[in-house]
Amino acid sequence: MGGGMGGGGCYDGPPAAPLEMPAAPPRADAHARSRTSPGACTREAEAEFDHERFEWSAEMRETLFSVFGYRVFRSNQCGIVNATLAKRDVFVIMPTGGGKSLTYQLPAMIHGGVTVVVCPLVSLIQDQVESMIHQGVVAEYLSATQSYDEQQVIMRALRDPRHVRSCDGIRLLYVTPERLSASGSLSSMLRRLHSEGLLARFVVDECHCVSQWGHDFRPDYKCLSALKHNFPEVPLMALTATATEAVRLDVCSILQLQRCVTFTNSFNRPNLWYYVKPKKKGCVEDIAAIIRQKYQGKTGIVYCCSRRDCEEVAAKLREARTNAAHYHADMDPEARKQVQKAWMCDEVRVICATVAFGMGINKPDVRATTCLHALHHASLDHVSSITPL
C-alpha cells in the first residue's frame, strides 16, 4: 500500500492486523431462490419502510432539502434511508441515475458517526468526496494517491472520538476494497470507532463484484465478508445496478446480511432514447458527425473495449474537430486525475474510456454515450456501435 498506510504504518502502537476473515459461506441454493422473489421482497420492504412516520422523518426531510437541494425522494429512496436508519441490512438494485448515492449520504448526516463506503475506483471516490464537500458534508477518503501526511491527518481525526462527534466531524469515509482488506491501521481505527459507538454503517457499492464472477475482477471484494464477521451488529448496505437473482442471493450470503431488506427498482428509464446502429467502416467518423450535428458543446462519453482503443478513438475524434480526451488505468495517476477534472469542469466535452469509468460518475449533464463493441481487435474500422442518446 502507498503512503505507509498498509499493515499499520500510521498506527500509534504495535502493528495492527487486518480484519479477521470468516470461513467461506455456503452459496445460496436453488431452494432458497424459489422461496422469495425481488418483487415480493420489495413490496414487503415498501410496506414497512416507505413512509415518513419515523422519529427521524422530520430531520430527514429537512436535510434532504437543506443539504442536497431536493424536495421529494425518487422511487424507493425514502424506504432505503429509513431501513438503514432502523439499523437493518439493506440490499439495493437500482439503475444508474436512480439516486443510489443519496440513500447512504443522507442517513450519514442524520444519526452521526462514520459511514464507511467501499467503492471500486479511486476516480469515483474522488468525484463523490468533492461533491459532498461542495454540499457542505465532511467526507474523506484513504488512497495510495495521497501523501503520507494527508493520510495521517485523516487517521488522527478518525481516532479522536471528540472530533468525530463534533459538528464538523467526518461523516463519510470512502475506501477501496483493497485498502480495507490489507490495511492493519485502518482495521484498528474501525475497531476503535466501533468501541466508541461511532461506526454507523458499512456501504458496499458495486456489490455484484462480491459474487463469484465479480471477485475474479476484484479479488479483494471477497474479503468484505469480514465486515459482518467482525462487526455483526453494524448495519450494512449493498448497492448495485447489475444483479440477477442468483447474484443477489450470492452477495447476501457472502456478506452475511441478516434480516436483509431488499429494494429493487424498475430499469425502465423513460428519459433516455436508444439508437442501435449496424457496424460499418468509419464508425468513429460517424460518431464525430453525430456529436457535431446533435450534441455540439455538450458532454458525452464514448465507451471503448480496450485501453489502446480509448487513445485511438480520442485521437480520431480530435482529428474530426471534436473536443475529446482519453481515460484509462494505464495512464499516469496525475494525468488521469487531470483528464477527469477537465471533463467534470467541461473543459473537455467528450471522454473516451473503458466501461469502469461510468460506475458512479456524478455528472448531471451527460447528454450522449456511445458504446463501441470491437469485433476485430486489429482494426477500429470493424465495430458495431450502440448509442444511448
> How high does pLDDT run on average in the chain?
82
Check residue 326 and give its pLDDT: 94
Is it the case that residue 388 has pLDDT exceeding 50? no
How far lies 125's CA from each of 205, 207, 337, in Å? 11, 15, 12
Note whether 186 and 73 are same-domain residues.
Answer: yes
Note whether 244 and 357 are same-domain residues.
Answer: no
Residue range 289-298: mean pLDDT, rounded: 86
Domain ends where: 242, 264, 286? 264
Note whether 157 and 242 are same-domain residues.
Answer: yes
Q: Which of 229, 263, 304 is nearest to 88 (CA)?
A: 263
How far lies 3's CA from each of 7, 90, 249, 292, 314, in Å? 11, 34, 37, 44, 33
Question: Scanning the structure block, which residue is given the C-alpha cell 464508425?
Answer: 283
In the chain, the percentage of residues whose pLDDT exceeds 70 is: 80
Note whether 286 and 142 are same-domain residues.
Answer: no
Domain ends where: 243, 264, 285? 264
Please tell me the pTM assigned to this model: 0.74
Digit-coded pLDDT (tens) for 74-115: 999 999 999 999 999 999 999 877 889 999 999 999 988 999
Note whether 258 and 287 are same-domain residues.
Answer: no
Is it the case that residue 277 has pLDDT exceeding 80? no
Is it the case that residue 384 has pLDDT exceeding 80? no
- In a domain, residue 22? The reply is yes
* Spatial distance between the Cα atoms of 83 and 86, rounded to a whole number of angstroms: 5
Task: Choose between 164 and 126: higher pLDDT.
Answer: 164
Is it the case that residue 27 has pLDDT exceeding 60? no
* Spatial distance between the Cα atoms of 41 and 220, rounded to a whole number of angstroms: 29
What's the per-residue H, E or C state across the chain?
CHHHCHHHCCCCCCCCCCCCCCCCCCCCCHHHHHHCCHHHHHHHHHHHHCCCCCCCHHHHHHHHHHCCCCCCCCCCHHHHHHHHHCCCCEEEECCCCCCCCHHHHHHHCCCCCEEEEECCCHHHHHHHHHHHHHCCCCEEECCCCCCHHHHHHHHHHHHCHHHHHCCCCCCEEEECHHHHHHCHHHHHHHHHHHHCCCEEEEEECCHHHHCCCHHHCCHHHHHHHHHHHHCCCCCEEEEECCCCHHHHHHHHHHCCCCCCEEEECCCCCCCCCEEEECCCCCHHHHHHHHHHHHCCCCEEEEECCCHHHHHHHHHHHHHCCCCEEEECCCCCHHHHHHHHHHHHCCCCCEEEECHHHHCCCCCCCEEEEEEEEECCCCCCCCEEEEEEC
pLDDT band at 381 (very low <50, low <70, confident <90, very high): very low
Note whether 323 and 204 are same-domain residues.
Answer: no
Check residue 25 and give its pLDDT: 59
Note whether 69 and 181 are same-domain residues.
Answer: yes
- In a domain, residue 269? The reply is no
Question: Scanning the structure block, which residue is given the C-alpha cell 481516532?
Answer: 159
- Under a CB-based contact definition with an 8 Å cutoff, are residues 292 and 344 in contact? no
Task: Choose between 90 and 21: higher pLDDT.
Answer: 90
Is it the case that residue 373 has pLDDT exceeding 80? no
pLDDT band at 123 (very low <50, low <70, confident <90, very high): confident
Domain ends where: 264, 298, 333? 264
Q: Mean pLDDT lowest for which of 85-94, 141-150, 194-203, 211-220?
A: 211-220
How far lies 366's CA from each of 15, 70, 162, 358, in Å? 46, 20, 41, 11
Total of domains in the chain: 2
* Spatial distance between the Cα atoms of 183 and 7, rounded to a whole number of angstroms: 5
Q: Mean pLDDT lowest for which of 44-58, 76-90, 151-165, 180-194?
A: 180-194
Is it the case that residue 173 has pLDDT exceeding 50? yes
How far lies 357's CA from each of 219, 237, 367, in Å? 19, 22, 16
The whole domain housing 304 covers: 274-388
What's the per-residue H, E or C state across 287-309?
HHHHHHHHCCCCEEEEECCCHHH
Task: Choose between 382 and 350: higher pLDDT.
Answer: 350
Digit-coded pLDDT (tens) for 301-354: 898 888 899 999 999 999 999 999 999 878 887 888 889 889 888 899 999 988
Note whether 71 and 176 are same-domain residues.
Answer: yes
- Residues found in the chain: 389
Residue range 18-23: mean pLDDT, rounded: 71
Is it the case that residue 10 has pLDDT exceeding 50? no
The dihedral sign for the CA sequence 149, 152, 153, 154: positive
Note whether 139 and 248 are same-domain residues.
Answer: yes
Note whether 112 and 154 are same-domain residues.
Answer: yes
* Spatial distance between the Cα atoms of 60 and 82, rounded to a whole number of angstroms: 9
- In a domain, residue 107? The reply is yes
